[in-house]
Amino acid sequence: MSSTDLPANVHVLRPRKVSLSEKLDLFLDEHGLELKEAAKRPDPSRPKSINGNALVCAACGEAEYLTREYCRCGHYLRGQLEDEYCAWENQVHIEHSELADAIALKIKPLRYLFAVGLPFLVGPMLYLNFWADSFTFYPLLWIAPGILIGGIAALTERFLMRPLEASAHFLNTYSIETFIDQRFFQPRVIDQ
């Protein structure tokens, strides 16, 4: 049937009132013509992604450059960054004291171990000093287990203390630059 070969009653045909496909209408209702979607399109003048050079504005949720003092929505970004830095700093101190407590618990039994080894060191010395008639090497053999126990206790303590020393070093050397570097890898959300 050609386009010119229309049915005789074409003039009585009326525009379709029902949709061609209800599914298409539903799809358009759900996904199309949504103004919010259009508004979410990235602003080319904003940072493209959250990296070390950007932060998310707590007021409008948009990414903004770190060097800007105010967000384009008017939010004071410098203040937000300082708030985040204070919260991070608190967290660093809390984590350090938690680590110190955990390590102190582990080290406590070592002190007892050292106390167990001490008589082996002191005993032979006292014996040689006060009770031995003549110097003999025999009491010195008792010193060996004392040295062994003391050495193990001291080495283990030094090994256990290492993470705490690293943490203390970090505590003495961090700055806001450290925070800005770490922020990208460990983002912390601040409650408003």
Q: Whole-number minimum distance, CB 178 to Zn ion, in Å?
A: 25
Q: Closest Cα to residue 56, out of 35, 37, 44, 72?
A: 72
**Residue 59 vs 107, nearer CB to Zn ion:** 59
Residue 64: strand pairing partners: 55
Q: Give DSSP secondary structure letters for 24-48.
A: HHHHHHHHSS-HHHHHTSPPTTS-S
What is the size of the binding site for Zn ion (CB under 5 A)?
6
Q: Is 57 in the site for Zn ion (CB under 5 A)?
A: yes
The 10 Å Cβ neighbour count of residue 134 is 5
Q: Whole-number minimum distance, CB 53 to Zn ion, in Å?
A: 16
Q: Is 46 in the site for Zn ion (CB under 5 A)?
A: no
Among 6, 28, 50, 73, binds Zn ion (CB under 5 A): 73
**Residue 34 vs 43, nearer CB to Zn ion:** 43
- Side-chain half-sphere exposure of 118, counting CA atoms within 13 A: 7
**Residue 59 vs 164, nearer CB to Zn ion:** 59
Q: Which of the stretches 53-61, 133-141, 152-160, 178-186 binds Zn ion when contact is defined by CB under 5 A?
A: 53-61
Distance of CA 91 to the CA centre of its chain: 10
Q: Is 75 in the site for Zn ion (CB under 5 A)?
A: yes
Q: Which of the stretches 28-36, 49-57, 114-122, 179-187 binds Zn ion when contact is defined by CB under 5 A?
A: 49-57
Q: Closest Cα to residue 121, out of 93, 92, 153, 94?
A: 153
The position carrying tokens 């206790």 is 153
Residue 65: strand pairing partners: 54
Q: Is 60 in the site for Zn ion (CB under 5 A)?
A: yes
Q: Is 56 in the site for Zn ion (CB under 5 A)?
A: no
**Residue 84 vs 153, nearer CB to Zn ion:** 84
**Residue 75 vs 96, nearer CB to Zn ion:** 75
Convert 87-148 into a string of H (helix), E (strand) and C (coil). Answer: HHHHHHHHHHHHHHHHHHHHHHHHHHHHHHHHHHHHHHHHHHHHHCCCCCCHHHHCHHHHHH
Among 46, 56, 59, 99, binds Zn ion (CB under 5 A): 59
Residues within the interface to Zn ion (CB under 5 A)? 57, 59-60, 71, 73, 75
